[in-house]
Amino acid sequence: MTPEFTVGPLRRTYDEITERLKATPNGSDREAVKRDIIGLFKTVDQAITDLGALKEDIRVLVDAYKEMAQHESGDQAPTFTGAVPVVHDHLGASTYVEKGWSLISLGDHAGAMQALKKALELAPDNVQAQSQLGWAQMLHGDYDDALGTFQQVLMKEPANSLARINVGYICLKKRIFGEAIEHLSKAIRLDNDRKATLYAHYYLGLVYFEREMYEDAQTFFEKTLALGPNLIEAYYELGHATWAADDHDGARETWAKGVKANKLSAWGKRCQEALDAIDRGEAPTR
């Protein structure tokens, strides 16, 4: 589907009315042109409303796709949320920042990177564009590029906790555990962004799980759930940490809580899969 599919007929009606108007019609013809102009305006106005509603419905499809993909991959990257950015225009940079934000939200990370790099060409010191570029690079799997981008953000804004937990997540993925602990612990100490504090606890749980320090992992996952009971992946990971610590009854109880909290979510389904494995007499796998 191309823009021509939607706009083409309306544009042709516009061109037709333009030609009729140039012909300097008489009184009755002029009234007919007036009615057609008003009719075209109303049609376009309604189309904008309908397309806006359809656009929001498409976002629902995107979220459903992300849920499905997350269930299959077990992706643990922080969810990209927030209000549409308000940017003071700098030679047109705001247009590209807003486009980048929309494309990240829709899952088009490559397209977002292209838009945000253009924004930074126009406004090299725009921290918002730089931060969003880091998100896009991280979600695209370009961890080295994302790490460099977020480090530039932190040089300008050391208290940017979201950038800091993203650095922590990237270090976790790259198994640079010491640096991950440093950044995530700093985000917790700053405690200036609720989402960042939540994910800092969660990622520290993952770090200690990878280091086979299961009791420490349990502690951080439990703190995560105290801060954000709706972060269902914390139930899933807490269950595995509890299982690894040889508390199998506790693990079963934790996964059951995850299913109860949201059985339809990707992580709720993974909790159910762990319970099903136990029921079959198998050890649950991550």
Of 33, 53, 73, the domain-final residue: 73
For Cα atoms 140, 264, 258, give the angle at the middle one, nearest 5 degrees: 90
Does residue 33 belong to any structural domain of this protein? yes
| pLDDT number for residue 53 | 77
| pLDDT number for residue 197 | 96
| pLDDT number for residue 48 | 80
Does residue 112 belong to any structural domain of this protein? no
| pLDDT number for residue 236 | 97
For residue 37, give its domain range. 1-73
Does residue 84 belong to any structural domain of this protein? no
Q: How many domains does the chain have?
A: 2
In three-state form (DSSP H/G/I as H, E/B as E, the rest C), the secondary structure along 57-90 is: HHHHHHHHHHHHHHHHHCCCCCCCCCCCCCCCCC
| pLDDT number for residue 44 | 85
| pLDDT number for residue 125 | 87
Residues of the chain scoring pLDDT < 70: 1-5, 24-25, 59-91
Q: What is the pLDDT of residues 230-251, one digit of tens each?
A: 999 999 999 999 999 999 999 9
Does residue 3 belong to any structural domain of this protein? yes
Question: Do residues 143 and 170 touch, judged by C-beta distance below 8 A?
Answer: yes
Residue 59 neighbours by CB under 8 Å, 6+ apart:
105, 106
Does residue 211 belong to any structural domain of this protein? no
| pLDDT number for residue 59 | 63
Of 73, 89, 110, the domain-final residue: 73
Does residue 231 belong to any structural domain of this protein? yes
